[in-house]
Amino acid sequence: MGSKYDLVIIGGGAAGLCAAQYGARANLSTLLVEEMAPGGQALLIDGLENYPGIAEPVNGYDFSESMRNQAERFGATILAASAGAITRGEAEFTIGTTEGPIEAAAVILATGSKHRHLGVPGEEELAGRGVSYCATCDGPFFKGKRIFVVGGGDAACDEAMFLAKLTDKVTLVHRKDRLRAQRSMAARVLANPHIVVRFNSVVAGIKGAKKVESVLLERVDTGERTEEGAEAVFVFIGFIPTTGLAKAAGAALDESGFVLTDERMATSVPGLFAAGDLRVTPFRQIVTACADGAIAAHSAAQYIDALRGTSYR
């Protein structure tokens, strides 16, 4: 494997895999660096049902594998490694990785985001012992058990629906008076006889000696607290952008820590682009991440052409 590429993409979620495909199709030597399995957050989806062109729900792993195979078929290379600092020279970037330094004319950051935690007593202590952030990973361990799901967005509702296949005792806890998930998904949750929704409520604490035994619920409107028995708590309250590399490279961020880009996915650093969940965007879905990746790769190709004086005129 060479150490110099036209385009290096860091992050192998939907945005990164789509960027790799479009970069390779643009005849750029393209490398995607991913420290885990390609697929990102999509790997955790039980049934992906709202991606255009896929009529029947598909699990996230199969979807991600198809994207990976497609990118490789077009000529992209995927490297299993962790990326470190990114430094920009006069005409190229150097990316430090656990497999050695790599040079690139342009870089696309697609590092995504990580699960936001509740930050309540007992959460960290009982992580992996009833507290989880992945229903498809850990849900089967709690068949027939009392399960609490925290959140009210698409992810929380999707995971609650999956868990309701395993037990008839799912309680969805949401701090607002209505779910913020897409209407069709919210309607299915509310109609599911195995799911009880507690609106205007938060989980204020998780209790247990060696595993989850109960949750402390608090009403946000009255402050009233109640303790209820539980064997598992699944948390889906949003994500924190993984922007350490972007910040270190000098890319501008907003007040919440997301990367600022223009409509071409260009950051404030020439030649550095961002795509997917780490950037400022009004809507975070797999389909929008893929669109980001395609635009970023196209913009990177135009940047490289201009850099080399080969732009189409």
Q: Report pLDDT for 1.
A: 46
Q: Three-state SS across the chain?
A: CCCEEEEEEECCCHHHHHHHHHHHHCCCCEEEEECCCCCHHHHHCCCECCCCCCCCCECHHHHHHHHHHHHHHCCCEEEECCEEEEEECCCCEEEEECCCCEEEEEEEECCCEEECCCCCCCCCCCECCCEECCHHHHHHHHCCCCEEEECCCHHHHHHHHHHCCCCCCEEEECCCCCCCCCHHHHHHHHHCCCEEEECCEEEEEEECCCCCCEEEEEECCCCCEEEEECCEEEECCCEEECCHHHHHCCCCECCCCCECCCCCCECCCCCEEECCCCECCCCCCHHHHHHHHHHHHHHHHHHHHHHHCCCCC
pLDDT digits (tens), the chain, 313 positions: 459 999 999 999 999 999 999 999 999 999 999 998 888 878 777 778 888 998 898 888 999 999 999 999 999 999 999 999 899 988 799 999 999 999 999 999 999 988 899 999 999 999 989 999 988 778 999 999 999 999 999 989 999 999 999 999 999 999 999 999 999 999 999 999 999 999 999 999 999 999 999 999 999 999 999 999 999 999 999 889 999 999 999 999 999 899 999 999 999 999 999 999 999 998 888 999 999 999 999 999 999 999 988 876 6
Residue 313: what pLDDT?
62
The reported pTM is: 0.80
Residue 161 is predicted with a pLDDT of 95
148 neighbors 233 (Cβ within 8 angstroms): yes
Contact 158, 45 (CB under 8 A): yes
Domains recognised in the chain with CATH numbers: 4-114+239-308 (3.50.50.60), 117-235 (3.50.50.60)
Residue 8's pLDDT is 98
pLDDT of residue 60: 86
At 295 the pLDDT is 98
pLDDT of residue 2: 52
* pLDDT score for 41: 78
